[in-house]
Protein backbone atom coordinates (compact mmCIF):
# COMPACT_ATOMS: atom_id res chain seq x y z
CA UNK A 1 0.00 0.00 0.00
CA UNK A 2 1.40 3.39 -1.01
CA UNK A 3 2.32 5.85 1.72
CA UNK A 4 0.52 9.20 1.58
CA UNK A 5 2.90 12.09 0.72
CA UNK A 6 2.41 13.83 4.08
CA UNK A 7 2.96 10.63 6.04
CA UNK A 8 5.95 9.78 3.91
CA UNK A 9 7.54 13.16 4.67
CA UNK A 10 6.99 12.60 8.41
CA UNK A 11 8.52 9.14 8.12
CA UNK A 12 11.54 10.50 6.22
CA UNK A 13 12.19 13.17 8.86
CA UNK A 14 11.95 10.57 11.62
CA UNK A 15 14.46 8.45 9.74
CA UNK A 16 16.89 11.38 9.52
CA UNK A 17 16.37 12.05 13.23
CA UNK A 18 17.18 8.44 14.06
CA UNK A 19 20.32 8.71 11.94
CA UNK A 20 21.52 11.70 13.97
CA UNK A 21 20.82 9.88 17.24
CA UNK A 22 22.83 6.90 16.01
CA UNK A 23 25.64 9.15 14.79
CA UNK A 24 26.03 10.94 18.12
CA UNK A 25 25.74 7.62 19.95
CA UNK A 26 28.56 6.22 17.84
CA UNK A 27 30.78 9.23 18.53
CA UNK A 28 30.14 9.08 22.28
CA UNK A 29 30.75 5.33 22.38
CA UNK A 30 34.07 5.71 20.58
CA UNK A 31 35.51 8.63 22.56
CA UNK A 32 36.88 6.49 25.45
CA UNK A 33 39.09 4.63 22.97
CA UNK A 34 40.27 7.97 21.56
CA UNK A 35 41.45 8.95 25.04
CA UNK A 36 43.12 5.56 25.55
CA UNK A 37 45.10 5.96 22.33
CA UNK A 38 46.06 9.54 23.21
CA UNK A 39 47.22 8.34 26.62
CA UNK A 40 49.36 5.65 24.95
CA UNK A 41 51.02 8.21 22.67
CA UNK A 42 51.59 10.50 25.64
CA UNK A 43 53.24 7.67 27.57
CA UNK A 44 55.57 7.03 24.64
CA UNK A 45 56.49 10.70 24.51
CA UNK A 46 57.17 10.70 28.24
CA UNK A 47 59.34 7.60 27.97
CA UNK A 48 61.38 8.78 24.98
CA UNK A 49 61.06 12.52 24.45
CA UNK A 50 62.55 13.71 21.17
CA UNK A 51 63.33 17.04 22.77
CA UNK A 52 64.90 17.23 26.23
CA UNK A 53 63.93 20.86 26.76
CA UNK A 54 62.45 21.92 30.07
CA UNK A 55 59.46 23.40 28.24
CA UNK A 56 58.56 20.07 26.63
CA UNK A 57 59.02 18.23 29.92
CA UNK A 58 56.65 20.62 31.68
CA UNK A 59 54.11 20.31 28.85
CA UNK A 60 54.23 16.51 28.97
CA UNK A 61 53.89 16.49 32.75
CA UNK A 62 50.87 18.82 32.57
CA UNK A 63 49.29 16.66 29.87
CA UNK A 64 49.81 13.49 31.91
CA UNK A 65 48.13 15.11 34.89
CA UNK A 66 45.15 16.19 32.80
CA UNK A 67 44.69 12.74 31.30
CA UNK A 68 44.39 11.29 34.79
CA UNK A 69 41.01 13.06 34.82
CA UNK A 70 39.99 11.79 31.39
CA UNK A 71 36.39 11.27 32.48
CA UNK A 72 35.96 15.02 32.89
CA UNK A 73 36.52 15.58 29.17
CA UNK A 74 34.48 12.53 28.20
CA UNK A 75 31.51 13.72 30.25
CA UNK A 76 31.74 17.21 28.79
CA UNK A 77 32.05 15.84 25.25
CA UNK A 78 29.03 13.57 25.71
CA UNK A 79 27.00 16.47 27.05
CA UNK A 80 28.03 18.84 24.26
CA UNK A 81 27.32 16.33 21.50
CA UNK A 82 23.91 15.36 22.87
CA UNK A 83 22.99 19.01 23.37
CA UNK A 84 23.66 19.52 19.67
CA UNK A 85 20.74 17.19 18.95
CA UNK A 86 18.43 19.40 21.00
CA UNK A 87 19.67 22.88 20.14
CA UNK A 88 20.80 22.58 16.51
CA UNK A 89 17.53 23.77 15.00
CA UNK A 90 17.11 26.47 17.61
CA UNK A 91 20.63 27.79 17.01
CA UNK A 92 20.08 27.81 13.28
CA UNK A 93 16.84 29.71 13.73
CA UNK A 94 18.60 32.34 15.79
CA UNK A 95 21.24 32.63 13.08
CA UNK A 96 18.56 33.76 10.62
CA UNK A 97 17.48 36.65 12.86
CA UNK A 98 19.07 39.99 11.88
CA UNK A 99 21.79 41.05 14.30
CA UNK A 100 20.79 44.27 16.03
CA UNK A 101 23.66 44.48 18.51
CA UNK A 102 27.28 43.46 18.81
CA UNK A 103 27.98 40.25 20.71
CA UNK A 104 31.17 39.93 22.70
CA UNK A 105 33.22 36.88 21.76
CA UNK A 106 36.03 35.87 24.11
CA UNK A 107 39.50 35.25 22.77
CA UNK A 108 39.33 31.67 24.04
CA UNK A 109 36.05 31.01 22.25
CA UNK A 110 37.42 32.45 19.02
CA UNK A 111 40.63 30.46 19.33
CA UNK A 112 38.60 27.32 19.95
CA UNK A 113 36.66 27.89 16.74
CA UNK A 114 39.90 28.42 14.83
CA UNK A 115 41.37 25.17 16.18
CA UNK A 116 38.16 23.29 15.36
CA UNK A 117 38.13 24.82 11.87
CA UNK A 118 41.69 23.68 11.18
CA UNK A 119 40.93 20.24 12.57
CA UNK A 120 37.85 20.00 10.37
CA UNK A 121 39.71 21.10 7.25
CA UNK A 122 42.25 18.31 7.69
CA UNK A 123 39.66 15.71 8.60
CA UNK A 124 37.55 16.50 5.55
CA UNK A 125 40.36 15.12 3.40
CA UNK A 126 39.74 11.76 5.04
CA UNK A 127 36.01 11.98 5.73
CA UNK A 128 34.84 13.89 2.66
CA UNK A 129 33.36 10.95 0.73
CA UNK A 130 31.72 9.32 3.77
CA UNK A 131 30.24 12.60 4.99
CA UNK A 132 29.03 13.58 1.52
CA UNK A 133 27.10 10.32 1.16
CA UNK A 134 25.34 10.86 4.49
CA UNK A 135 24.69 14.52 3.68
CA UNK A 136 23.08 13.76 0.32
CA UNK A 137 20.73 11.10 1.70
CA UNK A 138 19.76 13.29 4.67
CA UNK A 139 19.15 16.21 2.32
CA UNK A 140 16.84 14.02 0.23
CA UNK A 141 14.93 12.84 3.30
CA UNK A 142 14.41 16.32 4.73
CA UNK A 143 14.11 18.25 1.48
CA UNK A 144 16.88 20.69 2.41
CA UNK A 145 20.61 20.79 2.97
CA UNK A 146 22.11 20.34 6.43
CA UNK A 147 21.82 23.42 8.62
CA UNK A 148 25.01 25.20 9.67
CA UNK A 149 24.75 23.80 13.21
CA UNK A 150 23.81 20.24 12.22
CA UNK A 151 25.70 17.70 14.33
CA UNK A 152 26.29 15.59 11.21
CA UNK A 153 28.65 18.27 9.93
CA UNK A 154 32.31 17.61 10.84
CA UNK A 155 32.84 21.26 11.78
CA UNK A 156 29.97 21.08 14.28
CA UNK A 157 30.99 17.98 16.19
CA UNK A 158 34.68 18.92 16.07
CA UNK A 159 33.83 22.28 17.64
CA UNK A 160 31.79 20.54 20.35
CA UNK A 161 34.80 18.41 21.26
CA UNK A 162 37.07 21.45 21.47
CA UNK A 163 34.47 23.22 23.62
CA UNK A 164 34.40 20.14 25.86
CA UNK A 165 38.17 20.40 26.16
CA UNK A 166 37.68 23.94 27.45
CA UNK A 167 34.86 22.80 29.76
CA UNK A 168 37.29 20.31 31.31
CA UNK A 169 39.77 23.16 31.93
CA UNK A 170 42.46 21.30 30.01
CA UNK A 171 45.41 23.34 28.78
CA UNK A 172 45.62 24.48 25.17
CA UNK A 173 49.23 23.33 25.26
CA UNK A 174 48.05 19.76 25.73
CA UNK A 175 45.74 20.11 22.75
CA UNK A 176 48.63 21.36 20.63
CA UNK A 177 50.89 18.61 21.92
CA UNK A 178 48.38 15.86 21.10
CA UNK A 179 47.05 17.45 17.92
CA UNK A 180 48.37 14.86 15.44
CA UNK A 181 47.18 11.95 17.56
CA UNK A 182 43.79 13.60 18.11
CA UNK A 183 43.45 14.20 14.38
CA UNK A 184 44.20 10.57 13.58
CA UNK A 185 41.88 9.16 16.23
CA UNK A 186 38.97 11.47 15.45
CA UNK A 187 39.39 10.71 11.76
CA UNK A 188 38.96 7.00 12.47
CA UNK A 189 36.06 7.69 14.83
CA UNK A 190 34.27 9.96 12.35
CA UNK A 191 34.74 7.56 9.47
CA UNK A 192 33.29 4.69 11.50
CA UNK A 193 30.31 6.84 12.56
CA UNK A 194 29.53 7.97 8.99
CA UNK A 195 29.88 4.46 7.61
CA UNK A 196 27.45 3.28 10.28
CA UNK A 197 24.88 5.84 9.14
CA UNK A 198 25.38 4.86 5.52
CA UNK A 199 24.60 1.24 6.43
CA UNK A 200 21.59 2.38 8.46
CA UNK A 201 20.21 4.29 5.47
CA UNK A 202 20.83 1.38 3.13
CA UNK A 203 18.98 -0.99 5.45
Per residue in 45-97, pLDDT (tens digit) is 888 766 667 777 778 887 888 888 889 999 999 999 999 998 655 444 444 33
For the question of whether the overall pTM of this predicted structure is more than 0.85, the answer is no
Distances from the Cα of 109 to the Cαs of 106, 112, 113, 131, 165, in angstroms?
5, 5, 6, 26, 12
Q: pLDDT below 70 — which residues of the chain?
A: 1-5, 49-52, 87-109, 111-112
Please state, in angstroms and rounded to a whole number, the distance separating the CA atoms of residues 112 and 107: 8
Largest CA distance in the chain: 73
Amino acid sequence: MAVAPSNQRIWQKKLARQARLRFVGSLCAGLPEVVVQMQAVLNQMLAKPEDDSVHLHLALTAAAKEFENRQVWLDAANRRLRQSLLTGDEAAARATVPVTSFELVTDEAMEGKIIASRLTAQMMEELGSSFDGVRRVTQFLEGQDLLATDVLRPDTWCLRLIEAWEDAKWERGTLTLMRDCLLEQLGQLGRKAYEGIERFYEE
